[in-house]
Amino acid sequence: MSYRHIDGYPLGVLVGLSEREEIIDYNHTRNVYLMMASFISLAMLGFFAVATGLIGKLLGREREMTHLVEYDR
Protein backbone atom coordinates (compact mmCIF):
# COMPACT_ATOMS: atom_id res chain seq x y z
CA MET A 1 0.00 0.00 0.00
CA SER A 2 1.37 3.40 -0.94
CA TYR A 3 0.08 6.94 -0.95
CA ARG A 4 1.22 10.29 -2.27
CA HIS A 5 -0.04 13.83 -1.95
CA ILE A 6 0.15 15.73 -5.23
CA ASP A 7 1.49 19.27 -4.65
CA GLY A 8 -0.69 22.08 -5.93
CA TYR A 9 -3.79 19.92 -6.15
CA PRO A 10 -6.27 19.02 -3.43
CA LEU A 11 -5.83 15.39 -4.29
CA GLY A 12 -4.33 12.39 -2.58
CA VAL A 13 -3.63 9.12 -4.36
CA LEU A 14 -3.77 5.75 -2.65
CA VAL A 15 -2.54 2.66 -4.50
CA GLY A 16 -2.51 -0.95 -3.40
CA LEU A 17 -2.60 -4.50 -4.66
CA SER A 18 -5.25 -7.09 -4.01
CA GLU A 19 -4.52 -9.94 -1.66
CA ARG A 20 -4.54 -12.34 -4.61
CA GLU A 21 -1.88 -10.33 -6.45
CA GLU A 22 0.30 -10.25 -3.35
CA ILE A 23 0.05 -13.99 -2.78
CA ILE A 24 0.92 -14.93 -6.39
CA ASP A 25 4.68 -14.37 -5.82
CA TYR A 26 4.57 -16.25 -2.51
CA ASN A 27 2.82 -19.23 -4.11
CA HIS A 28 5.27 -19.30 -7.02
CA THR A 29 8.30 -19.20 -4.71
CA ARG A 30 6.78 -21.88 -2.46
CA ASN A 31 6.11 -24.15 -5.44
CA VAL A 32 9.67 -23.72 -6.74
CA TYR A 33 11.13 -24.59 -3.32
CA LEU A 34 8.86 -27.63 -2.96
CA MET A 35 9.81 -28.84 -6.43
CA MET A 36 13.54 -28.43 -5.72
CA ALA A 37 13.20 -30.23 -2.37
CA SER A 38 11.34 -33.09 -4.08
CA PHE A 39 13.98 -33.51 -6.79
CA ILE A 40 16.83 -33.40 -4.26
CA SER A 41 15.05 -35.95 -2.05
CA LEU A 42 14.48 -38.30 -4.99
CA ALA A 43 18.11 -37.91 -6.09
CA MET A 44 19.30 -38.80 -2.58
CA LEU A 45 17.01 -41.83 -2.44
CA GLY A 46 18.30 -42.97 -5.82
CA PHE A 47 21.91 -42.53 -4.72
CA PHE A 48 21.36 -44.53 -1.53
CA ALA A 49 19.53 -47.28 -3.43
CA VAL A 50 22.41 -47.63 -5.91
CA ALA A 51 25.00 -47.50 -3.11
CA THR A 52 23.12 -50.17 -1.13
CA GLY A 53 22.92 -52.40 -4.21
CA LEU A 54 26.64 -52.02 -4.91
CA ILE A 55 27.56 -52.73 -1.28
CA GLY A 56 25.37 -55.85 -1.35
CA LYS A 57 27.04 -56.97 -4.56
CA LEU A 58 30.50 -56.38 -3.06
CA LEU A 59 29.67 -58.33 0.09
CA GLY A 60 28.28 -61.20 -2.01
CA ARG A 61 31.46 -61.37 -4.06
CA GLU A 62 33.55 -61.24 -0.89
CA ARG A 63 31.61 -64.19 0.52
CA GLU A 64 32.05 -66.06 -2.74
CA MET A 65 35.81 -65.45 -2.77
CA THR A 66 36.08 -66.55 0.87
CA HIS A 67 34.14 -69.71 0.04
CA LEU A 68 36.40 -70.44 -2.96
CA VAL A 69 39.56 -69.92 -0.91
CA GLU A 70 38.35 -72.21 1.88
CA TYR A 71 37.07 -75.08 -0.31
CA ASP A 72 39.36 -74.95 -3.34
CA ARG A 73 42.14 -77.02 -1.88
CA atoms of 25 and 2, how far apart (whole Å): 19
Its pTM surpasses 0.75: no
Model pLDDT, residue 14 = 74
Using alpha carbons, list the distances in angstroms from residue 64 to 29, 38, 73. Answer: 53, 39, 15
pLDDT in tens, 27-67: 999 999 999 999 999 999 999 999 999 999 999 999 999 99
Model pLDDT, residue 1 = 60
Res 4 pLDDT > 80: no
Higher pLDDT residue, 2 or 48? 48
Which letter does DSSP use for residue 1 in this model?
-
